[in-house]
Amino acid sequence: MADTATELETLLSGLNDPQREAVTYGEGPLLILAGAGSGKTRVLTHRIAYLVATDAAKPNEILAITFTNKAAGEMRDRAELLVGRRVRAMWVMTFHAACARMLRAHADKLGYTRRFTIYDQADARRLIKRCLDELGIDPKRFTPASIHNQISDAKNKLRDADAYAQMVGSFFEQTVADVYRAYERELHRMNAMDFDDLLVRAVNVLELFQEVRDQYAGTFRHVLVDEYQDTNHAQYRWLQLLAEERRNLMVVGDDAQSIYGFRGADIRNILEFEDTFPDAHVVKLEQNYRSTQTILDAANAVIRNNRGQKPKSLWTELGQGDPIKIRELEDEHAEARFVTGEVQRLLDEGVSRAEVAVFYRTNAQSRVLQDTLVRGDIPYQVIGGTKFYERAEIKDAIAYLITLVNPQDAGAFTRIVNAPRRGIGSTSMSRVLAFSNTTGTSIWDAASEPEQVPGLGGPAVKAFKRFMATMHVLRERATSNPPIAELLKEVLQETGYLEALEAERTIEAQGRLENLEELVNVAAEYDAAAETDPAREPSLAEFLEQIALISDADDRSDDEGLVTLMTLHNAKGLEYPIVFMIGCEEGVFPHSRALDEGGLEEERRLCYVGITRAQRDLYLTYARTRNVFGARSFGAPSRFIGEIPDGLTDREQQQPRGLAGVRARATSWVSAGSSGGSVPAWDADAPTPAAAAFRMGEDVTHPKFGEGVVTGLEPGGIVVIHFSRDGSERKMVADLAPISKR
DNA sequence: TATAATTCTCTTTTT
DNA sequence: GAGAATTATA
């Protein structure tokens, strides 16, 4: 037992008081309010180790949930350092992965097979588009994207199609209700689930089948959740079902870092945790081990402008540090040159590239910066936005594999049936689809007997026969569980996919071939990993699940000599000695669309996240003008810059802000005339910004909200518009919002 | 039916 | 300024 005592001592050494309190707290609900950089992952992993070391839980009785694969991987690695191989028995994974794992075992109870397909956003939208066509709804009036958002929102709140239909108000919602029904029917028919379904169906299974609930709730003695502020209602319910009985639920989060409201995250989950669990024990972690006091003061000052945060103030023992550097640049190119030059200078001083990160609000902003970094010969990595798994050739290859696993998936089938071209056009394909629909046979079976399909021409029948002959051979091959890399290569070979690409002899095709090579490598890695871990049961279905749940943000590397570029959202949970936040302009950050939708506070939290990533040096830059859409636009400095006290920055005096500032610069820019040869977005003889062009009572249209009337004008170039379609009143930045006169 | 040309539309953040 | 989606043409 002396061993255990020493083990515990080592485990707890180096923790501060609140951290220690969180790690050693006994049974019952536990809320950890963990400020940025306060060591929350440390607390989580140490508590896991503590629970195991004190026999409060066996490894397989621990469920530790994160949002990203990256975070799950990191938690697993760090826990392994503390408890060794025992970590293998634990469930340390994302919400979606955990739900998928449950569903593989129990989906049959809901009428799915265990080989169901997981649809990503693009797949889901394609299917919704098909539902729209089927229902005869004009996809221009109601875009698949907006309908999908609405459905996704409903699912996150655990509202099924019937529940949604009960509470429709507008015509738009009525339409969504119809599409929702059709969409659900189609998904189920194709044995497919979208991302949201993974959670919804997991909740369904737990609610409907007591024995399943007993099984999991009984097994998981302790449930730990990271980033709790980002949970939505479905996730909340899922956790509740699993942890209600034993009540050993530990949630860790920071309400100030809740930045996924747009995806259904409900900040109330964390704000009201103590109401839900009146006996909850609360621990606040406020000591920051990451940043200088200057950076923390700036973060505290910005977030103070939000209402309804849990009061919390970060402090550090690391000292004051240098002032925050704020720079105004002419345009995005000058901004990129400034960042590049500054990075260059830092590198000369001996800073390593891995210590530098650049954050931006939208992925599009990275392009100019990349160009400049390339010219400056600075190696970098871009996190996210690359969309490897969204490339057409990768989706095609995966769709082939899906078809072999889930022959009911008409979406995947439709994708590959004529890729490469084999003379099966959309007309023929719709005939087979219709046949499959009316007869209730799977798309695979329908296509296997094309002569049964009414109206199908002779050449089309022949083409289907040839195609399906190949597919049957491949399916046969797949049943013997070959290495997936091998199978994939065969698929690409036998279907003529590679051949068609090779025949193109273009640079693009060459790139696609390389991407497919890369996919084969991914498969080979999976095969290798499965081989070394005999506990795992590798399968094509599992491989496909892994791929479906992977995200671009997962392949970040920290040890290479690379400067890192990413969106602010991707930056959460990371830290860098030197941080640049670029594009700090109204309309860019805070983003105009977020402003339209009342998401200012969330934008501010995003700013808080960005600032608190910096350990030593923080740069905020903004450009006077910027190309948006290919048209030049003007933006005032971000209000967030103004919210940082001057004393914390190196700026001499307050920058001019608001409409006056915009106008002054706009005018001077126009008069400067010659720079770059670009033309302002509005006529040169109308030097005032577009904002002034709108008048009270004027009729305008907005591509998304439809027709409306200007009901107010506010300083800062903001117009208030009342939209007739949904009766809403919205404030928009006239320069940036896509509004036009009627 | 396939390809080429052309016309739109979009861009917030992501499991 | 880039994609996708649609339309025209072979």
Give just the sign of the alpha carbon dihedral A530, A534, A536, A537. Answer: positive
Q: Which of residues 428-467 of A touch strand B (CB under 7 A)?
A: 428, 457, 459-460
Confidence category of residue A307, pLDDT binned at 50, 70, 90: confident
Residue A670 burial by CB count (10 A; 0-12/13-18/19+): exposed, middle or buried?
middle
In this predicted structure, what is the pLDDT of residue A676? 31
Q: What percent of chain A has pLDDT over 90?
A: 45
pLDDT at A731: 60
pLDDT band for position A659 (50/70/90)? very low
- CB-strand contact A727/C, under 7 Å: no
Q: Among A41-45, A294-298, A564-568, A721-725, name the one with the lowest average pLDDT.
A: A721-725
pLDDT at A742: 63
Digit-coded pLDDT (tens) for A663-691: 333 322 322 222 333 333 323 223 333 33
Instruction: Give the pLDDT confidence score for residue A690 in this predicted structure.
Output: 38
Tokens encoding A495: 């279907």
Nearest nt to A383, CA vs C1'? Answer: B14
Using pLDDT thresholds of 50, 70 and 90, give the confidence band for residue A705. low
Of the ranges A10-24, A194-208, A299-313, which one carries the lowest mean pLDDT score?
A299-313
Pick from A727, A698, A726: nearest CA to A712:
A698
Strand B contact with A595 (CB < 7 A): no
CA dist., res. A40 & res. A32, Å (int):
8
Residue-level pLDDT at A674:
28
Torsion of CA A24, A26, A30, A33, to 10 degrees: -20
> How far is it, in rounded angstroms, from Cα A507 to Cα A598?
45
User: Would you say residue A551 has pLDDT above 60?
Assistant: yes
Q: Do residues A474 and A480 touch, judged by C-beta distance below 8 A?
A: no
A630 beta carbon to strand C: under 7 Å: yes
Helix A95-106 and helix A233-243, axial crossing angle in degrees, nearest 10 = 60
Rounded-to-integer distance, Cα A733 and Cα A314, Å: 34
pLDDT by residue (tens digit) across A458-479? 788 888 898 999 999 999 999 9
Residue A327 corresponds to which tokens in the numbers above?
Answer: 């720079």
- In angstroms, the CA A338 to CA A340 distance is 5
Strand ranges across the sheet with A281-285: A91-94, A62-66, A222-225, A249-253, A30-34, A281-285
- Residue nearest the C1' of C1 (CA based): A630
CB atoms closer than 10 angstroms to residue A304: 14
pLDDT category at A661 given cuts 50, 70, 90 is: very low
Residue A672 confidence (pLDDT): 26
Region A180-197 average pLDDT: 92
Taking the alpha carbons of A660, A307, A594, A293 in that order, is the dihedral positive or negative? Answer: positive
Return all residues near A172 (Cβ < 8 A) that are at least 6 apart: A142, A725, A726
Residue A367 confidence (pLDDT) above 90: no
d(CA A426, C1' C6) / Å: 14
Three state DSSP letters for A243-303: HCCCCCEEEEECHHHCCCHHHCCCCHHHHCHHHHCCCCEEEEECEECCCCHHHHHHHHHHH
Does the nearest atom of strand C lie within 7 Å of A138's Cβ? no
pLDDT of residue A121: 82
How many angstroms separate the CA of A545 from the C1' of B8? 36
Question: Measured CA to C1', what is the nucleotide nearest A198?
Answer: B15
**For residue A61, what pLDDT is reported?**
95
- With contact defined as beta carbons under 8 Å apart, do A288 and A35 qualify? yes
Question: In this structure, is the CB of residue A200 within 7 Å of any atom belonging to strand B?
Answer: no
What's the whole-model pTM score? 0.80
Q: Among A430-434, A582-586, A625-629, which stretch is predicted with the lowest mean pLDDT?
A: A625-629
pLDDT given at position A225: 96
**CA of A133: nucleotide with nearest C1':** C5
Q: Judge if the beta carbon of A553 is closer than 7 A to nucleic acid strand B.
A: yes
By mean pLDDT, which of A96-110, A146-160, A369-383, A723-737 is the weakest? A723-737
Q: Is A651 helix (H, G, I), strand (E, B) or coil?
A: coil
> Which nucleotides along chain C are within 7 A of a protein C-beta?
1, 4-6
- Residue A637 preceded by cis peptide, ω within 30: no
Distance A152 CA to C8 C1' (A): 38
- What proportion of chain A, given as a percentage, has pLDDT over 70? 85
**Any strand C atom closer than 7 Å to A139 CB:** yes
Give A333 or A7, the one with higher predicted confidence: A333
Q: Which nucleotide shows the minimum CA-to-C1' distance to residue A125?
A: C4
Question: What does the DSSP 8-state code read for residue A330?
Answer: S
- Please report, rounded to whole angstroms, the spatial distance between the CA atom of protein residue A308 and the C1' atom of nucleotide C6: 49
Residues A615-620 have a mean pLDDT of 95
Least confident range from A391-405, A432-446, A686-700: namely A686-700
- The mean of the pLDDT values for chain A is 84
Determine the Cα–Cα distance for residues A391 and A275; give it in Å rounded to an integer: 46
Taken in order A155, A158, A164, A168, the sign of the CA dihedral is negative
Q: How far, in Å, is the CA of A495 from the C1' of nucleotide B5?
A: 30
**Is there contact between A143 and strand B, defined as CB under 7 Å from any strand atom?**
yes
A421 touches strand B (CB under 7 A): yes
Report whether pLDDT(A715) > 50. no
Specify the range with the lowest mean pLDDT, choosing from A104-108, A271-275, A730-734: A730-734
CA gap A259, A237 in Å, rounded: 20
Q: What band does A42 get if pLDDT is binned at 50, 70 and 90? A: very high
- Measured from the CB, is A363 under 7 Å from any atom of strand B? yes
CA pair distance A242, A214, nearest whole angstrom: 9
Nucleotide closest to residue A629 (CA–C1'): C1
Average pLDDT of the residues in A372-389 = 82
d(CA A564, CA A484): 32
Mean pLDDT of A379-399: 81
Chain A residues 631 to 690 whose Cβ lies within 7 Å of strand B are: none
At A420 the pLDDT is 82
H or E segment and range at residue A633: strand A631-634
Q: Give pLDDT, residue A584.
A: 93
Question: What is the spatial distance between Cα A31 and Cα A283, in angstroms, rounded to a whole number?
Answer: 6
pLDDT greater than 90 at residue A91: yes
Residue A655 CA to residue A648 CA, distance in Å, equals 15
In whole angstroms, what is the distance from residue A742 CA to residue A737 CA?
A: 15
Q: What is the pLDDT of residue A707?
A: 67
pLDDT of residue A607: 95
Strand, helix or coil at A606? helix
pLDDT of res. A662:
39
Q: What is the mean pLDDT of residues A399-408?
A: 91
Q: Are A22 and A30 in contact (CB under 8 A)?
A: yes
Question: Residue A630 CA to nucleotide B9 C1', Å?
Answer: 14
Is the shortest CB-to-strand distance from A288 to strand B under 7 Å? no
Q: Higher-confidence residue: A124 or A427?
A: A124
Burial letters A27-36, b for 16+ CB under 10 A, else e: eebbbbbbbb
Q: List, for residues A492-536, the tens digit of each pLDDT value.
A: 999 888 888 887 777 777 778 888 888 898 898 888 888 777 667
How many beta carbons lie within 10 A of that of residue A89, not counting itself? 14
Q: Is the CB of A551 under 7 A from strand B?
A: yes
Catalytic residue numbers of A?
40-41, 226-227, 257, 613
Closest nucleotide to the alpha carbon of A262, via C1': B13
